[in-house]
Structure 1
Amino acid sequence: MGFISRDKATSLRPPYAFTGNPPRFRKYSRYISCLLFVLIALSIAVYFFPGHLLPRSLPSGHTAQGQDLRADDPVCPQADALVPGVNHDLWLTLGDALSTPLFQARAVRLVSGAVQIKGESFIDMGPVGNDSRWEVHAAMHTYLTRAFPLINKFLTREVVNTYGLLYTWNGSDPSLKPLLMLAHIDTVPVDDSTLGAWTHPPWSGAFDGTYIWGRGSADDKSGTIGTMLAIEMLLERRFFPTRTIVLAFGFDEEIGGAQGAGHISPVLQQRYGPNSFAAILDEGGSFGEEYGSIFASPGVAEKGSMNVRMEITGAGGHSSVPPAHISIGKLAAAIVKLEDNPFEAHLLRESVIYRRLLCLAKYGADMDPMLRQNIKDSMTSDQSLLELERILFNAAPIVKTLVSTTQSVNVIQGGFAPNALPEQVFAIVNHRIDSLSSSAAVKARDTSILEEVARRFNLNYNPFGIANYHSAAFTGNFSLVATTLLEPSPISPTEGVGAGAYHVLSGSIIAAYNTYNWTNSGRSKKDNTIFVTPALPSGNTDTRFYWNLSSNIFRYNHDNFGSPEHPLGGGVHSVNERLHVRVFLEMVRFYFTYILNMQECREA
């Protein structure tokens, strides 16, 4: 069927059809600019913020329609709102609680208290036990114990590497794979020079009646508190799970996660084994308006990353008698060679970004018809795909970064005195590896590109530990070393076989969104429908340490990104970070909706 037609549209699917003959592609830069903004903004927003898991049967009275996965619609299929059946009354009770002033005050108090506890991560921190700056996290442990007494009574709490937290809520059915929910208790630092620019002090947790202000309010103490509050609410109502739920909270996600998630993951791998979790949920995607429709964007993959140290060594000496090319010049030539040869970028149909474009074209109410038609045509026409790629890339070259491997020389060092020839110089190249590529491909490409530099300057060339070129009249050595390496993540299935977990997530997102009466916030009637699309974060989360534990890894926390309630994600990583109280309450609604839906799912 592909794209829906007007006569087959339902109330949940706006009738935005592809009709008529494909028009000749004309310039419409205004619409292209909008598309580019959407892609780039979502990438930034996402950064900051297998199993068939459908129920065997629907219990009597179950109102979920999420089991209708619309398998006959191959383009961006949408699940319907999925609400709990067995625990339907409990779900309604939890939702009613969110609207009470007493609960809202409780929610504000919990987030505010967490924000007031400093937990900055600094890039130069040493290992736990060797750096006293880690010790700030002990206060958060004490706070969480006091704030959530039932969790600490009924869940098994473990401390990993001093400050990592692992909670296990054992389910009654050990045959069901557990659900793993992640968050982190650390924040990026606050630059003291910006203190005067904050509306409220960054560690105040101030509440002005609308926003909770402070570092970590949006990233990611709201995720930690929101997850725990949802579970505490369930415990208060004497709910106990059938499927085991595991909570894993790292404390250094902002600097890579090696001390936190990097130590928690081996514990889980030893305890449960590979591919042992039904799904993993971490911070990440959000929802917001694009092309006149509301889209939620859970991240289903992450790019890889690799830092390459390019080092050139040679004879030193006095600068009064320099050779024709000194080491710094040779290194500069290598940098220029890289920058003159960027990675090829192509819009591939199997990429997450392309699949997202299809969703925007199918459901975006206000997308220009010609752009919509071109995206539709690109599904079957290679010429149309190349034309779409050309238009996007030419309009803003930065879009290439979303669909390709990138390179950026961010560190350079060499020389120690103005009158001495440097004997050793180096630069560090940061690569963000396309989700459809690999580190091996990047290494092969760097090796090939830079060999010409080695030959030009008669350098012994050793890329990535392999002797590649040896000059009899060598003037020095040229080496490439991968100092850090992270392969692109697996891509979680979103369609077809194995996509059950994604549809449960999607149905939970839609149910949580639809439950709240958005008209009370001044939203128009068209905003009552939300569409879920796969997304690709521009950065990495703690999920990097858990890839082998599940094939269903999602990065989403139901944050209303870029809305009047929560502009630009609430100042994440910046001055005036803040969290709209309504946004937080809806995050909690999503968490308990998802938890309950996962309890009623079974592996096929």
Structure 2
Amino acid sequence: MIRSNHLQNNFLPGPQQIRFQGIRKIYFFFAKELPRCPRTAGAGKVNDYALIYKWKGIDSGKKPIGLTSHYDVVPVLSGTEGNWEQQPFSGAVVEGKIWGRGTLDDKISVIGMLEAAEQLLKQGFKPERDMYFMFGFDEEIGGNEGALAIADLMQERGITFEFVLDEGGAIVEEMVPGVDKPVGVVGISEKGSATAELTIEGSGGHSSQPKNRTNIGRIASAIAKLEETQFKGDLKGPGEDLFEFVAPEMNLGMKYVFANKFIFEPIIEKILLGQPASAALIRTTIAPTIFQAGEQYNALPEKASALINLRLMPGDSLDDVKSFIKKTIEDDEINVTVSGNEASSVSSIDSWQFKAIQQAARNVYSEAVIAPYLMFAGSDARHYDKVSENTYRFLPVQITSEDLNRMHGTNERVSVDNYVNAIKFYIEVMKEGAK
């Protein structure tokens, strides 16, 4: 098994640093520390930095499976380096933990997948179907040059997958109220991400003689109406699937409520809407993020605008969002534009593909409840919808809510045990998925 500090030392901070400091370091690292995989599967490049390995199976007539992850990371915010207990890119292993940016997101998957393949090759394992390992380099900024380009190449070659597995949900302790066991959530879809811009223009003037309704006031009023109204919550789709899977593990009272959901659904939805995390499971969310207006304290701005980030539920279109905003703000003089991506397709939970991932997780984390869910953030998986029957999102680590806050934050780290278990999980996925 490779030394755990290779999670950090042989991967560079992000796409721009990779471009200028040399992607060859990654290739050389794979060739040196994981020689069997490159030798068996070869390596292809897309847009210079994305990697594809193909492990040929016994029966190439069967649809292949795809395992994907990314080796770019978000930067460490300038000025926060001193807040880290270990150097952000040191890869230090201290007291059973591996420290550094990207240890959770998502170098653990890159190394975990290749280390798992290395171990299986050492054992003489031969998959029944082809397996592809696909590594992007720009997931944190959308994945258009990495994952999307790989998916386009697969489409050009007529290659479609039984399923593609990417990062996403994890095994989280105390995730679901009323469930004592850790819950492992496998993303079967991810919410869309859209940006709405609200803009109004008109005469400014001196602040000593303001109109009753200024440009700033009108945009502020529109934002206030949107936050007060919100999209309607509806327990359906992946959110409903999650609770149906975990309901048998709930305490008696909660088990009764979910067993009679058709009676208690309004109460359940009200409870879920009471917390941001659970509310995001059942509705499209509204988050004003940028407000721009004015340059001088005594001059009324001639233009005011606001940007709103929305995370769309499956089934909500960009047109639906625009219509909702215009109807809610009730101000025809405010121009509304909406751009972005709608939610990904929803993958099957009744298929052998989902059950293979579920079983692989159970084989490593026997105490966890493995359930489907709706992923709030974006991932490279959505790019593979066009070439895969199903796309799933799961990071095989057991973590706390505090650990989740360290992703993209200070003191990102992963335990050595989690690292080893990730390798075990990918071994099981390859065995289960390649049957």
TM-score under structure 1 normalisation? 0.66
Counterparts of 1:72-83 in structure 2 under 5 Å? none
Give the aligned partner of residue 561 of structure 1: 399
Q: Does residue 159 of structure 1 match 2:45?
A: yes
Instruction: Summarize the alignment of residues 109-120 of structure 1 with structure 2, pairs less than 5 Å apart.
Output: 109=3, 111-117=4-10, 119-120=12-13
Partner of residue 376 from structure 1, selected from 246, 259, 266: 259
Please point out which of 113, 122, 135 is paired with 1:236. 122
Let me know the Cα RMSD of the aligned residues: 2.5
Residue by residue, what CA displacement relative to the aligned partner does 1:309-354 show, whole Å, maximum 9, x if unpaired? 11212235555665554432332232223223211213x2x32222
Mapped pair 1:303 → 2:188: no
Distance across 2 between alignment mates of 1:228 and 1:531: 26
Any unmatched runs of 5+ in structure 2? none
- Map 1:198-597 onto structure 2 (within 5 A): 198-208=84-94, 210-272=96-158, 276-290=160-174, 291-316=179-204, 323-346=211-234, 348=235, 350-364=236-250, 367=251, 369-378=252-261, 381=262, 383-394=263-274, 396=275, 399-450=278-329, 452-454=330-332, 459=333, 478-483=334-339, 485-495=340-350, 499-514=351-366, 527=367, 530-562=368-400, 568-569=403-404, 571-597=406-432
Change (3 A) 1:133 1:427: farther
Distance 1:245 1:371 in 2: 42
Deviation digits for residues 459-503 of structure 1 (CA, Å, limit 9, x no counterpart): 3xxxxxxxxxxxxxxxxxx322223x11111111112xxx12111
**Deviation at residue 118 of structure 1 after TM alignment:** 5.5
Query: 1:598 and 2:427 equivalent?
Result: no
The Cα offsets for residues 231-251 of structure 1, whole Å up to 9 and x where unpaired, read as 122223343433111111111
Task: Give, in whole Å, the separation in 2 of the partners of 1:117 and 1:301.
Answer: 32
Describe the shift of the 1:333–1:385 C-alpha distance in structure 2 as closer, same or farther (beyond 3 A): closer
Would you say the 8 A contact 1:114–1:140 is kept in 2?
no
Distance 1:277 1:208 in 2: 40
Q: How many residues are treated as equivalent by the alignment?
A: 430
Residue identity opposite 1:583 in structure 2: N
Q: Which secondary structure does the structure 1 equivalent of 2:305 belong to?
A: strand
Long gaps (5+) in structure 1: 1-102, 122-127, 460-477, 515-526
Q: Which of residues 6, 11, 20 is equivalent to 1:135?
A: 20
Cα offset, 1:397, TM superposition? 6.1
Q: How far 1:404 moved relative to its partner? A: 0.4
Structure 1 residues 513 and 327 mapped into 2: Cα distance closer, same or farther (>3 Å)? closer
- CA gap of 1:230–1:425, structure 2 versus 1, over 3 A, is same
- Relative distance call for 1:425 and 1:443 in structure 2 (3 A) is same
The answer as to whether partners of 1:309 and 1:427 remain within 8 angstroms in 2 is: yes
C-alpha change, 1:203 and 1:318, in structure 2 (3 Å) is same
Measure, in 2, the Cα distance between the counterparts of 1:577 and 1:208. Answer: 13
Greater share of strand residues, 1 or 2? 2
- The answer to whether residue 68 in structure 2 is matched with residue 182 in structure 1 is yes
Please give the secondary structure, in 1, of the residue aligned with 2:309.
strand
What does the per-residue CA deviation read over 1:539-573, in whole Å, with 9 as the maximum and x for residues that have no partner?
1111121112223211113211229xxx6359322
Q: What letter matches 1:559 in structure 2?
A: V
Q: Larger Cα Rg: Structure 1 or Structure 2?
A: 1
Secondary structure at 2:53's aligned position in 1? strand
SS at structure 2 position matched to 1:534: strand
Secondary structure, in 3 states, of the residue corresponding to 1:546?
Answer: helix
Change (3 A) 1:289 1:270: same
Q: Give the residue type in structure 1 aligned to 2:229.
A: N
Equivalent-residue separation in structure 2 for 1:322 and 1:296 (angstroms): 56
Cα distance per residue 1:408-432 (max 9 Å; x no partner): 1101112333454433322111111
Q: CA deviation at 1:288?
A: 4.4
Is 2:382–2:391's contact at 8 Å kept on the other side of the alignment?
A: no
Identity %: 30
| Alpha-carbon offset, residue 227 of structure 1 | 0.4
> 1:570–1:453: structure 2 CA closer, same or farther, 3 Å change rule?
closer
